[in-house]
């Protein structure tokens, strides 16, 4: 563990400990500016909550490094990892060597992701946060600070993002001001599948749900398409009957949707659908057969 200290004087009573210079990370492509949007992926939130649940006994909060990409108008946080640290009333110590090694290993897997900031659980920015932020300012230009309220104050897990800027009289004691940024939640298609599955646990008394089969997923998707078509047809009928005022914007979207549908005979569509379903059933059958063969082989080896 190495104690993190601030280069500039800050109004906190912590001992000054000499910290070895960190190995510089690849430069971020653009600086984070005031007014930038912070886009957070679900896997980041899940990782932060998991690290909080696995924290050491007596630890008040957990911190970690945020990884992602930066452009002129937004910061996209796609991954993160926790960093061991200890806090007391007088000082804070962060395992910088662990953070460096974890980042080096991550770069071997995903070279496009760089350090964009750090996170901490809780709803407040403490005096220790200023010192930790100073360390990450050496690793990334103008890093962001993400806070996640795991105490669920107000019944919600509030997520906030900040960027720091120096303030004070030149030549005198300087302070740090954290300015809030706009936070948005985005996801890849693969992440959406996991989010939809997690949302189903809200309606389950046991708070647990199993994975659905491929055939069940096809049935669920077909049901959603059918419901959407019913909504569109009902809207069109209401417009034609005069119950609803026509909206030109909705009409243009519907026209674009109709133009994207390929012209195909009902018989050909049914043949194509049945063929795809047969292919899916064949793959499912072969997968189950392979699992049965592997299980049988293990049983024979254990005899």
Q: Is the dihedral of CA 237, 242, 248, 249 positive or negative?
A: negative
What is the per-residue pLDDT across 44-62, written as a single tens digit (0 to 9) for each?
998 999 999 888 887 888 9
Dist. CA 257–CA 108, nearest whole Å: 42
10 and 114 housed in the same domain: yes
* CATH number of the CATH domain containing 49: 3.40.140.10
- Residue 200: inside a domain: no
Q: Where are the alpha helices (DSSP H) in 54-177?
A: 96-109, 127-139
Structural domain includes residue 202: no
Is residue 249 domain-shared with residue 233, that is, in the same domain? yes
CA distance 76 to 39: 5
Same domain? For 217 and 270 the reply is no
Which is more confident, 295 or 11?
295
pLDDT band at 68 (very low <50, low <70, confident <90, very high): very high
Domain limit, last residue, from 261, 280, 295: 261
Mean pLDDT of 156-164: 87
Is 82 inside any structural domain? Answer: yes
Return d(Cα 279, Cα 281) in angstroms, integer: 5
Mean pLDDT of the chain: 81
pTM of the model: 0.64
Tokens at residue 24, please? 């510089």
Phi, psi of 171 (to 5 degrees): 85, -10
Read off the pLDDT band of 294 (50, 70, 90).
Answer: very high
Is there a single domain that holds both residue 277 and residue 149?
no
155 and 297 in a single domain? The answer is no
Q: What's residue 34's pLDDT? A: 57
Which residue, 190, 221, 248, sits at the end of a domain?
190
**Is residue 203 a part of any domain in this protein?**
no
- What distance in Å separates the CA atoms of residue 66 and residue 110, rounded to the nearest whole number? 13
pLDDT tens per residue, range 5-45: 433 333 333 333 333 333 444 433 344 555 679 999 999 99
The per-residue pLDDT for 114 is 92
Question: Residue 299's domain spans which residues?
Answer: 264-303
The tally of CA atoms less than 13 A away on the side-chain side of residue 138 is 16
Tell whether 151 and 225 lie within a shared domain. no
Asked whether residue 201 is assigned to any structural domain, the reply reads no
What does the pLDDT read at residue 287?
Answer: 92
Per-residue burial over 118-142, b if 16 or more Cβ lie within 10 Å, else e, is bbbbbeebeebbbbbbbbbbebbeb
Number of domains into which the chain is organized: 3
Report the range of poorest mean pLDDT among 29-38, 76-85, 242-251, 290-299.
29-38
**Does residue 140 share a domain with residue 29?**
yes
Nearest to 32 by CA among 99, 94, 77: 77
Q: Are residues 254 and 293 in the same domain?
A: no
**Within-domain flag for 226:** yes
Residues 254 and 273 placed together within one structural domain of the fold: no
Mean pLDDT, rounded, for 183-194: 85
15 lies in the same domain as 87:
yes
């Amino acid at each position: 563990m190495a104690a993190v200290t601030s280069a500039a004087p800050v109004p906190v009573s912590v001992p000054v400990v000499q910290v070895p210079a960190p190995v510089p990370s690849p430069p971020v492509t653009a600086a984070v500016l005031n007014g930038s949007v912070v886009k957070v992926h679900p896997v980041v939130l899940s990782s932060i909550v998991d690290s909080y649940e696995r924290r050491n006994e007596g630890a008040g909060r957990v911190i970690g490094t945020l990884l992602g990409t930066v452009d002129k108008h937004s910061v996209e946080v796609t991954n993160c990892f926790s960093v061991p640290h200890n806090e007391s009333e007088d000082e804070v110590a962060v395992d910088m060597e662990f953070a460096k090694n974890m980042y080096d290993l991550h770069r071997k897997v995903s070279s496009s992701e760089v350090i964009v900031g750090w996170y901490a659980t809780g709803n407040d920015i403490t005096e220790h946060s200023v010192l930790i932020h100073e360390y990450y300012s050496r690793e990334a230009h103008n890093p962001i600070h993400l806070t996640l309220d795991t105490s669920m104050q107000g019944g919600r897990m509030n997520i906030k993002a900040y960027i720091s800027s120096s303030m004070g009289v030149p030549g005198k004691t300087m302070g740090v001001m954290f300015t809030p940024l706009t936070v948005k939640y985005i996801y890849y298609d693969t992440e959406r599948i996991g989010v939809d599955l997690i949302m189903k646990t809200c309606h389950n008394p046991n708070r647990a749900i199993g994975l659905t089969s491929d055939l069940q997923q096809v049935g669920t998707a077909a049901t959603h398409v059918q419901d959407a078509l019913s909504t569109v047809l009902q809207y069109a009928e209401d417009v034609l009957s005069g119950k609803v005022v026509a909206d030109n914007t909705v009409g243009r979207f519907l026209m674009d949707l109709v133009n994207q549908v390929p012209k195909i005979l009902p018989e050909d569509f049914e043949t194509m659908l049945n063929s795809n379903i047969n292919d899916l059933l064949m793959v499912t059958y072969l997968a189950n057969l392979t699992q049965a063969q592997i299980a049988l082989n293990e049983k024979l080896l254990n005899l």
